[in-house]
Amino acid sequence: MSSKRLDAKTKSAEDFVFKDHEGFEPLADEELVTAYERLRDEEEAGSHGRRYPNIRRLYGTPFEREKDRRETRAWARKPEAGEMQQWYEMARTKPCTWWLENHLLARHALKGCMACGVCTSLCPAAEFHEDYNPRVIVEAALSDDEARLVELLKSETLWYCGQCGSCKPQCPYDNNLMRLISSLRFLAQLKGYHLCSVRGRQQYAARHLWGGNLWNRACSLYFRNIDPESHPDFGPRHAQYHSEVDQQMTRIGANPDTAGQFGGRKVPPETLEELRRCVAGGGTLALWKQLEEYAIEEARRMGISIEEYYERVRSEG
């Protein structure tokens, strides 16, 4: 594979990177990352402080996702990837019943159950999805039945929970059902069972949306993510606001793609580095690495590109 040398400071580099979706694949990992970072950190003086004009063209692009893929793999290989990453990689090979006894979130989630149904009666997801029943999920978790747990992890219903916690204040056993579900969902992804459901497959998109924002902008949601195309239900006033979002945000004291401490801010690379090390230190890269591998395999199986796969799981359902 030939590797094109990039000069990220010239206009032609921008065109190369942004216009040609297939143009960057042959690039070596380090070059890709360096090009991205140079473009990201390019500054210009603005009336409200230092501005970073390229972020809006980098976020949520195939280029950024490919860079993230490469970086995840590289970081996951680092020695300082650490104890938790190894733990998750090991835990992936164990039975679900083992996970429930050993995962930090699952360990404290359930203290028993009298099947009283208070959780299901308060759950908004159970209200709107006939086949969703959190009490039954608790029952499966307490059943010690590996086959039932696997079935649950492969199901659509595991993904209906909206993590609102309505089930929590009234459980007579003081269970934390919401976090049991978080724990099961994490396991489903590690083991690849999420691929068996439409909503589970969406996690690949979720990883790049929230994970991508977190990894690259230190904030799970980027203000340009809430664009009218992905949120047509927000109406024309939102579309109008969004068309002038930079000026509107600046006006009220936020920091769209600028240095600062409020919404939309561009964090210094030093902060981003610390954040990334915290994320990696907690073992998350074991998940991201796994999600990537599963997605690539699925895309290959379907005969589509990884980006086509990303678009598909994002809009399915």
Partner 1 sequence: MASKVCVIGGGVTGMQVAHVLSTLGVPSVLVEKSSELGGHVPRLSRTFAFFNDDGFNDGREFTSALERDLRSTSLPDIHLNTTVTGLTGESPNFCIQLSDGSSVESGAVVVATGFQPFDPSSLKEYGYGVYPNVITALQLEWMLNPRGPTGGKLVRPNDGKEVERLAIVFCVGSRNRRIGAPFCSRICCSYSTKQASTVMERNPGAFVACFYVDVRTYDRGFEEMYTLAQDRGVKYIRGRVSTCKQLPDGTIAVRAENTLINKPFWGEFDLVSLSTGMRPCKDVDQLSHVLGIACGPDGFFLCREWFRHPHDSTRDGVFLAGCANGMKPIRNCMIDGASVAARVAALLQRTAH
Partner 2 sequence: MTIPAPPGETMTKEIPANDFFLTPSCVLGAVNPGTEVLVSRIYDLLGLRWSAAGNRPGSQCTCCTGMPSHGDVISMESTLLVVARLWSIAAEMGFENVTTACVTSFAIHCECLEMYEQEPDLTERVDRWLREACGRRLQIPRHVVHASDVVYRYRHTLAQEFMRYRLVEEKTGRPLRIVDHVGCHYAKVFPEKSIGGSEYCDVLTGMIQAWGGDAVDYPERRHCCGMGFRQGIIRPNRGYTMACVLKKLESMNPWKPDAIITNCPGCNVFLDKEQWAIRELSGTAYDIPTLSYSELAGLLLGWDPYDVVGIQAHTVPVEPLLDKIGIPYDRSREWLSH
Looking at residue 258, the DSSP 8-state letter turns out to be B
Do 72 and 288 meet the contact criterion of CB atoms below 8 Å apart? yes
- Does residue 127 bind partner 1 (CB under 8 A)? yes
143 binds, among partner 2, partner 1, none (CB under 5 to 8 A by kind): none
- Does residue 273 bind partner 1 (CB under 8 A)? no
Minimum Å gap between C-beta 128 and partner 1 is: 10
50 binds, among partner 2, partner 1, none (CB under 5 to 8 A by kind): none
- Does residue 165 bind partner 2 (CB under 8 A)? yes
Looking at residue 194, the DSSP 8-state letter turns out to be G
Helix and strand totals (H; E) in the chain: 20, 2
5-13, 130-138, 148-156, 267-275 -> range binding partner 1 (CB under 8 A): 130-138
Q: Which of residues 124-143 bind partner 2 (CB under 8 A)?
A: 124-125, 127-129
Rounded Cα–Cα distance for residues 224 and 205 (Å): 16
Q: What is the dihedral of CA 60, 62, 68, 74, to 10 degrees?
A: -170
Q: Which is nearer to partner 2, 29 or 156 (CB)?
A: 156
Rounded Cα–Cα distance for residues 147 and 272 (Å): 42
Q: Which of residues 74-103 bind partner 1 (CB under 8 A)?
A: none
Residues in the chain: 317
Q: How distant, in Å, are the alpha carbons of 58, 63, 206 from that of 201?
A: 24, 21, 9
Q: Which is nearer to partner 1, 95 or 165 (CB)?
A: 165
Q: How distant, in Å, are the alpha carbons of 132, 133, 166 from that of 123?
A: 9, 8, 6
Which residues make Cβ contacts (< 8 Å) with residue 119, sequence separation at least 6? 134, 135, 138, 167, 170, 171, 175, 177
Q: Is 30 exposed, middle or buried (0-12, 13-18, 19+ CB in 10 A)?
A: exposed
317 binds, among partner 1, partner 2, none (CB under 5 to 8 A by kind): partner 2
Q: Which is nearer to partner 1, 6 or 171 (CB)?
A: 171
Longest dimension (CA), the chain: 67
- Does residue 171 bind partner 1 (CB under 8 A)? yes
74 binds, among partner 1, partner 2, none (CB under 5 to 8 A by kind): none
Q: Which is nearer to partner 2, 206 or 304 (CB)?
A: 206
Rounded Cα–Cα distance for residues 9 and 40 (Å): 11
- Does residue 173 bind partner 1 (CB under 8 A)? yes
Q: Which of residues 243-272 bind partner 1 (CB under 8 A)?
A: none
- Does residue 73 bind partner 2 (CB under 8 A)? no
Minimum Å gap between C-beta 59 and partner 2 is: 11
Contact characters 275-294, partner 2, x per CB under 8 A: x-xxxxxxxx-xxx------
For partner 1, the binding residues (CB under 8 A) are: 111, 114-123, 126-127, 130, 133, 135-136, 169-174
